[in-house]
Copies of this chain bind each other. A is one copy, B any other.
């Protein structure tokens, strides 16, 4: 029974939350455990989409190569998040990104066809998928908005604060879980820019020294956190912070 290795927090995982125990067991029964260590490639751009993949622990980077040979990080995923759900449900012919293991990961793989079948049979599961993908779509749109309208400084501040909230870190002091190079790539900027940005943020109450980060006063840096949130406050960062 795979549920042995699953943490208690699975009740909050988007894919599973709200399901009855029967549905949950049925779903988990369809998955196969896989381990992958740092540097391992889960799949490459263009590969056929074989599985929906649930991250049980560790971290996975999704990225693409640009025509000039550089790579651009699309997402850095952690425990509880899923990979390929959009590729399975949407109309596409292969993986639209490369997946690389950043931190040694435990994964659960569900065959794509099996997922579709299960979604047809279990409407609660289908609604979970719909909800999960809908939220992702919305986040992606907010992201595009941010990329189009926020300065590098704002992007970094927003990222750090979101990081702190989503990972349940202590704002008064936590370590970056990824390299700065990876974060810069994730934010679509150069490492140099990221570095300079960090010193600017010191005046704003965000201190970064080496891997150590501390965020002094969340309210004070509000202007740097999701410019849209002050009016359109549907940013998960803000939502979480306000509670």
Contact = CB atoms under 8 A, between A and B. Distances in A.
B145 A64 contact: yes
Interface string A85-107: 11111111000110000000000
Nearest to A70: B149
Contacts of A65: 231-232
Given A72-B149, A120-B123, A130-B130, A137 B86 contact: yes
Contacts of A230: 67
A47 interface: no
A45 B223 CA distance: 20
7 contacts: A66-B227, A67-B231, A74-B145, A90-B130, A140-B143, A140-B144, A145-B188
Interface string A150-193: 00000000000000000000000000000000000001110000
Given A66-B231, A140-B140, A140-B144, 5 more contacts: A90-B135, A90-B138, A92-B135, A123-B123, A143-B144
A84 B221 CA distance: 31
A127 interface: yes
Main secondary structure of the interface of A (DSSP, over half): helix
Q: How many copies does the complex hold?
A: 2
A19 interface: no
Contacts of A135: 86, 90-92
A129 interface: yes
Given A66-B231, A228-B66, A232-B65, A138 B96 contact: yes
Given A119-B126, A119-B127, A133-B130, A64 B228 contact: yes
A141 interface: yes
Contacts of A116: 127
Contacts of A64: 145, 228, 231-232
Contacts of A130: 89-90, 119, 126, 129-130, 133
Contacts of A148: 72, 147, 187-189
| A-B interface, 4 closest residue pairs, ranked by CB to CB distance from nearest | A148-B188, A90-B134, A140-B140, A137-B137
Interface string A107-135: 00000000010011101001101110111
A96 B134 CA distance: 13
